Structure 1
Amino acid sequence: LALSLFSSFTIVTLITKTTTSKKSNLSQTQNQQTMFGVVFPNRSFPIDISTFAQIDTHHWVLDMNHFVGEAYDQIGEMCIFLLNNFTLPPDKALAVYLQSPGSGFVFCGAVTLNRPSAVLSLQWPEPGGTALMSGDSAPLSAKIGVSVEDAAALQSVDVAAERKIERLAMKVGENLFNFMQSFCGVDGSKLVVPMDILDRWFKKFQEKAKRDPGFLKSFAL
């Protein structure tokens, strides 16, 4: 009787573990299937993960040829969003990469649990020269790749935004330099400018911005 009870207990335990394991695997699969979605502003309805080709557990690819064909470079923005807070561990990020025909993948930005959605500027890399045909002569296409990665290993969550800030700073600096050239003198190897040059430049900058609404737009990137 004791042996019979032990055998029954063992069978029930194995069935319970198997059922729990299957439920866990099913839950993980369902989480992956509902991990994220994307929207191309003014271009698309929300697109779920099923539109992407899943390469493996942590990588997906969207073939832009099926979406817009050769006009991929006219797609300048993409909104990517997590669908819930259960699909991505807190130390992970969903990284986005861009690939033009014949080029490599270039990092674009990412979302995390702390930043569950983002509108990313799509700065497509240059196509790969004349290598626009694959080995079987089928035309290569642009792709958007999505990858689950360690958040700490990513250089930034929005590369395009940082580049915009850099270019904006350079444009403002160029405007200041051009203004200073009108007033500077040369003393040997030094440029000499009036002490109030920055105040004069900033005042002129503000006045021009008030008079001409398009002036500040010229700094838009």
Structure 2
Amino acid sequence: MIAALLLSFGVIFVAELGDKSQLMAMTYALRYRWWVVILAITVATTAVHAVSVFFGHFLGMSLPTDLMSVLAGLAMLAFGLWTIYGDRLDNEERNRASRVGASVFLAVMSAFFLAELGDKTMLATITIATDHDWLGVWIGSTVGMVAADALAIGVGVLLGKHLPERVIAIGAAVLFFGFAVWLTVSGLVGASTPMIAATITAAVVITGVGAFLIQRDRRLRGADDENAEPATPERSLGRHEG
């Protein structure tokens, strides 16, 4: 078991270096609390590697990995739009972050789970599990991936301390859209026409809903700013002194 654990840890850790999962982890860490991100990644990794070991041992590579890649791409598209939408709440960022902690955790966890299904780390885990102790492979591969992503999270946290909030939000959204294109195109290579049509339809719907919510939020904020009471000199002085 120890040999399988060490082997799978080393293989998965090296495989994760420079992988999209590290970039995703850094992107999430730029926007949200690092401990929520790493906890969500740990849960998702534990689950997906359990699936890898189970299906690799009993059923072979029978998972619909192309479909999972497309779903992950759509999830990245939605999260990119969510990032832009959330950026409109600058004055309430801290309160909002505490209210949506659970939803951020679920979003990160599901995004990583879908993105890792069919990824090279999953295939490597399946391959190692065929000839080694499954429990050791499960533990080692999970720890290896979390360790590699933790490095990326550390970089994200460090960058987040030196970048303006707006720059972080725009950069994170761009990366999410990039992941969306990457994962979706990978899943649609060789796909049937109905599959491609359904994916395009879903992407258009997600984009349309996201754009509508963003525009509505901007209009509401514009109306609130117009109706806000102008600050008097005394109030302004009081804020500066505080």
Superposition TM-score, scaled by structure 2 size? 0.21
Is the helix fraction higher in 1 or 2? Answer: 2
Is the strand fraction higher in 1 or 2? Answer: 1
Could you say which structure has the larger radius of gyration? Answer: 1
